[in-house]
């Protein structure tokens, strides 16, 4: 996951270290050249010991900051988010006093980490949401065609079952040929009850029935699949609005694929504006070397990232953890 970006970030971090270390070394006769080298980064300056403090100036980090911004943009991070990350790091590092013997890489990494955490938001703990809300908790999944909505409904069904919740699935994609059969196969493999009508039926009616079934049978969670649609298709968006008014979801989850990069961010923004979204799932993170959508989406639309899809199996879904994502991005590639 996000291997390309991770590699680039490593080079950038080294760039910061070099710039700061060089400026530090040039700043006075008391400075000495590197004392210790990290074997994993052969030949690269990791530590520079001086016998006095060094204050980092904006000039010392200008070049690596520019390089970092380019790397973020090349990896699909949305421009305002990239700018915010850069501003955060600039503010963090400028004027910072590097204490005697303090490792430059520690200073740089902690600035990068805090800038990323700032834009990644908090995530969304679905289990604790369900635990603290009135049942059934009704969750409506929306998004454009082919991004992984149906698979995500199945994966989240499996995840919730594993966590001890009862689940019913509403087969709300009555539009695409084969969609009802597809979700039906998932549900029967997972041993989850499904409510379905004929192809072409009104999806609001199916999902209303699914909610009624859950209420009558004290089921904890309703997962509502829907047909893929683009936000500029007025009729289909009106249909989604009708579903929303009739089903009254507690949560609207926008699903898109991480590999779509900035397109996913733009589409999420549009969906959020028109039918609303409370949280986001990004699928196909396993196929995404860039990570830009995962970094940008929560900050751009102001709604948390809830899960990352990491493969085609039912277990290939992980609750999004900002801390874990940052650790992964900033860990040294094996
Ligand atoms: N590698 C990978 N593939 C995924 C992931 N999630 C879904 N897929 C695959 O993406 C394809 C489309 O998934 P669906 O769940 O049918 O997508 P959808 O959004 O429901 O599609 P429509 O109903 O046609 O709009 C399938 O082949 C899935 O197996 C993921 O996290 N990783
Ligand atoms: Mg589908």
Q: How do the domains of the chain map onto residue ranges?
A: 3-120, 126-330
Q: Two tokens at 204?
A: 């609001």
The rounded distance, in Å, linking the Cα atoms of 297 and 299 is 6
Cβ neighbours, 10 Å, residue 305:
28
Q: Which ligand is nearest to the CA of 176?
A: 1
Hey, which of 283, 286, 287, 316 would you mutate to test ligand 1's pocket, going by the most ligand atoms within 8 Å of its Cβ? 283
Long-range contacts for 60-68 (Cβ within 8 Å, ≥24 apart)? 60/19, 60/20, 60/23, 61/16, 61/19, 61/20, 61/89, 61/90, 61/93, 61/94, 63/15, 63/19, 64/12, 64/15, 64/16, 64/19, 65/89, 65/90, 67/12, 67/15, 68/12, 68/16
Q: Give the model's pLDDT for residue 13.
A: 84
Q: Which ligand is nearest to the CA of 154?
A: 1
- The residue whose C-alpha atom lies closest to atom 6 belonging to ligand 1 is 148
Q: Is 126-330 in CATH node 3.40.190.10?
A: no
Q: Give the model's pLDDT for residue 136.
A: 98
The rounded distance, in Å, linking the Cα atoms of 318 and 310 is 7
Main-chain dihedrals φ then ψ at residue 76, nearest 5 degrees: 75, 15
Q: Give the model's pLDDT for residue 52.
A: 62
Tens digits of per-residue pLDDT, 15-32? 888 888 888 777 654 444
pTM of the model: 0.91
Specify the CATH architecture of the domain 3-120.
Up-down Bundle (1.20)
The rounded distance, in Å, linking the Cα atoms of 84 and 94 is 15
Q: Two tokens at 207?
A: 């999902």
- The residue whose C-alpha atom lies closest to atom 10 belonging to ligand 1 is 148
Ligand 2 center–CA 146 separation, angstroms: 7
The rounded distance, in Å, linking the Cα atoms of 25 and 49 is 9
**pLDDT value at 241 more than 50:** yes
CA of 228, closest atom in ligand 1: 25
Ligand 2 center–CA 80 separation, angstroms: 32
**pLDDT value at 198 more than 60:** yes
Cβ neighbours, 10 Å, residue 320:
25
Mean pLDDT of 282-311: 97
- The residue whose C-alpha atom lies closest to atom 29 belonging to ligand 1 is 312
| Residues contacting residue 202 through CB under 8 Å, at least 6 positions apart | 174
Tens digits of per-residue pLDDT, 138-188? 999 999 999 999 999 999 999 999 999 999 999 999 999 999 999 999 999
Q: Give the model's pLDDT for residue 30.
A: 46
Which SS3 state, helix, strand or coil, does residue 136 take? coil
């Amino acid at each position: 996951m996000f291997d390309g970006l991770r590699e680039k970030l490593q080079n950038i971090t080294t760039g910061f270290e070099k710039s700061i270390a060089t400026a530090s070394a040039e700043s006075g006769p008391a400075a000495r050249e590197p004392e210790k080298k990290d074997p994993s980064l052969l030949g690269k300056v990791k530590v520079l010991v001086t016998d006095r403090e060094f204050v980092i100036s904006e000039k010392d980090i200008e070049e690596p900051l520019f390089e970092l911004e380019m790397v973020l943009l090349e990896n699909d991070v949305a421009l305002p988010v990239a700018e915010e990350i850069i501003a955060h790091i600039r503010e963090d590092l400028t004027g910072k006093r590097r204490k005697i013997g303090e490792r430059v890489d520690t200073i740089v990494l902690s600035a990068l980490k805090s800038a990323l955490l700032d834009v990644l938001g908090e995530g969304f703990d679905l289990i604790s949401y369900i635990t603290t809300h009135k049942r059934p908790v009704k969750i409506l999944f929306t998004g454009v065609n082919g991004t992984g909505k149906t698979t995500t409904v199945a994966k989240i069904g499996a995840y919730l079952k594993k966590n001890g919740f009862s689940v019913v699935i509403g087969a709300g994609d009555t539009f695409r040929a084969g969609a009802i059969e597809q979700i039906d196969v998932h549900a029967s493999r997972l041993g989850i009850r499904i409510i379905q009508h004929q192809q072409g039926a009104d999806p609001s009616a199916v999902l209303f029935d699914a909610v009624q079934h859950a209420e009558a049978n004290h089921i904890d969670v309703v997962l509502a699949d829907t047909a893929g649609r683009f936000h500029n298709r007025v009729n289909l968006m009106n249909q989604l609005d009708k579903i929303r008014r009739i089903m009254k979801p507690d949560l609207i989850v926008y699903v898109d694929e991480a590999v779509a990069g900035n397109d996913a961010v733009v589409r999420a923004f549009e969906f959020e504006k028109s039918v609303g979204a409370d949280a986001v799932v990004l699928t196909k993170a396993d196929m995404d070397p860039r990570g830009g959508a995962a970094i940008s989406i929560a900050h751009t639309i102001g709604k948390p990232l809830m899960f990352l899809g990491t493969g085609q199996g039912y277990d290939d879904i992980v609750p999004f953890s900002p801390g874990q994502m940052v650790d992964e991005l900033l860990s040294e590639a094996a």
